[in-house]
A and B are shown apart, each in its own frame.
Chain A
Amino acid sequence: MITIENLCKSFTLHNQNGAVIPVMAGANLAVARGECVGLIGASGAGKSTLMRMVWGNYLAASGSIWVGDLDVVTASPRQIIALRRSTLGYVSQFLRVVPRVPTLDVVAEPLLFLGVPADIARARAADLLARLNIPQRLWELSPTTFSGGEQQRVNIARGFAHPFPALLLDEPTASLDAANREVVLTLIQEAKARGAAILGIFHDEAARDRVCDRLIDVRAFTPKAAA
């Protein structure tokens, strides 16, 4: 479902004398349907950079990233927007939403964009928020005022609202208590069972062992010259 071939990336910092920093070279990996692959490697090794290239908010220098039948590296912005609506989900570490929008609507929004009727979308959102132990009295409030752990769970609910065939998870269990961590791991296992291909970053080793089928050390993709 996700296939990365010979992917390279460098940053050119024009405002720092045009410094060119190669960060990735010759990255290869594949995630099949129903499989969860964990990215490992020290901080700064390029785990998040790789995830962002798959999501499309970082440009690749060369290589290809196939998500389904679309190569994100060469796709047009419109194709990537369509991919993100229907095929590729992303649970980032931080929640970024329009302030003052109720939590229930934040979680339901991905479904509304797909044309799901509002009552069905909100019911699905309510179901996920309840599973993730967000108290119902908070559903009509904006998540911008929530604690870090609550925001994280809202973000997860939003990411799992639509059954995406491919999912990117950036530290989905960080800052969660044991009970909520368990809920998130169950959600991940359910997504795998329905055939989702998942690429994730998990610093939580026990969580990683529970859900990941394979681990890939991104240090193998570090450009030689920079090492």
Chain B
Amino acid sequence: MTDLSHAFAAAADTPLLQVKNLTKRYGARMGCADISFDVYQGEVLGIVGESGSGKSTLLSCLAGHMRPDQGEVFFQTAQGARDTVQMGEAERRRLARTDWAYVHQNPRDGLRMGVSAGGNVGERLMAIGARHYGDIRASAIDWLGRVEIDAGRIDERPSAFSGGMQQRLQIARNLVTAPRLVFMDEPTGGLDVSVQARLLDLLRGLVREMGLSAIIVTHDLAVVRLLADRLMVMKDGHVVERGLTDQVLDDPQHEYTQLLVSSVLQV
């Protein structure tokens, strides 16, 4: 693990993701406007804002689910930085299977509901070339355990699982291939608080041990406080404030951020 962290340190000076002037309009309405930022390896970036602030639009553009009207999204690949907006669909899909992961707010959008829990986890491994059944099943069992799903339920379909279990299964499915960048859209939304806590701890550990980078879109300031290194606050498609997470939450400078922070019962 120590050797790994040295490798991470060496890579730490080049951003893993560089976003430049990203803009997406819906007709006359602004989705997100002229957004630029960097994400480095091992770093968690939180994006907060109310519904309609453009944070989910931004995430969709970054992950290639939606094509931005303008702007560049450079991702650091083995062959150097590549603009994922300009690359072909096949190459982007390959990135989505290997280096990226996307955790949907609704686990039904990120899982194959007709396939067993073990199959859901194994499928992503097979997509990157794993063929040995025993290894795949062992990995699936290992990951089900890490997200606290009883190995005895490996052959059940996700439709038989509770919402919290489905979300943990979605995370296992996404992380089993050791991606470098994880996009998360309200990952703890709709979960019981006890499940949220376990998930937060799991994510923190993975960031630390795997050098994972993550971009987390949420409206929950308590979640970003515990998870994000840096924060961007969005309103009406624009980034109105950005900085160190505890600085933005404890000493917000922008009028909107002050309102947002003071409106929360307890962060």
Chain A: residues with CB nearer than 8 A to chain B? Answer: 11-15, 52, 56-59, 77-78, 80-81, 96-101, 112-113, 115, 117-118
Contact = CB atoms under 8 A, between A and B. Distances in A.
B255 A58 contact: no
Contacts of A59: 243, 247, 251, 253
B250 A98 contact: no
Interface of B: 1-2, 5-6, 40, 43, 193-194, 197-198, 200-201, 204, 208, 225-226, 229-230, 243-244, 246-247, 249-251, 253-255, 258-259, 262
A77 B229 contact: yes
A56 B258 contact: no
Contact of B200 (A96, A98, A113): A98
Nearest to B254: A14
A67 B254 CA distance: 27
A115 B200 CA distance: 20
Nearest to B252: A14
The 10 closest A-B pairs by CB, nearest first: A14-B255, A99-B197, A115-B5, A57-B246, A77-B244, A57-B250, A58-B251, A100-B197, A98-B201, A57-B247
B1 A57 contact: no
A78 B198 CA distance: 26
A44 B153 CA distance: 57
A134 B79 CA distance: 51
A77 B248 CA distance: 11
B5 to A, nearest CB: 4
Nearest to B196: A99
B250 A101 contact: no
Nearest to A18: B255
Contact of B201 (A15, A56, A81, A101): A101
Given A52-B250, A56-B246, A113-B208, 20 more contacts: A12-B253, A14-B254, A14-B255, A14-B259, A56-B247, A57-B244, A57-B246, A59-B251, A77-B229, A77-B230, A78-B43, A78-B230, A81-B43, A98-B197, A98-B204, A99-B193, A115-B1, A115-B2, A117-B1, A118-B1
Contacts of B259: 14-15
Nearest to A75: B244
B244 A80 contact: yes
Contact of A78 (B40, B193, B254, B258): B40
A58 B250 contact: yes
Contacts of A77: 229-230, 243-244, 247
Nearest to A97: B226
Nearest to B199: A98
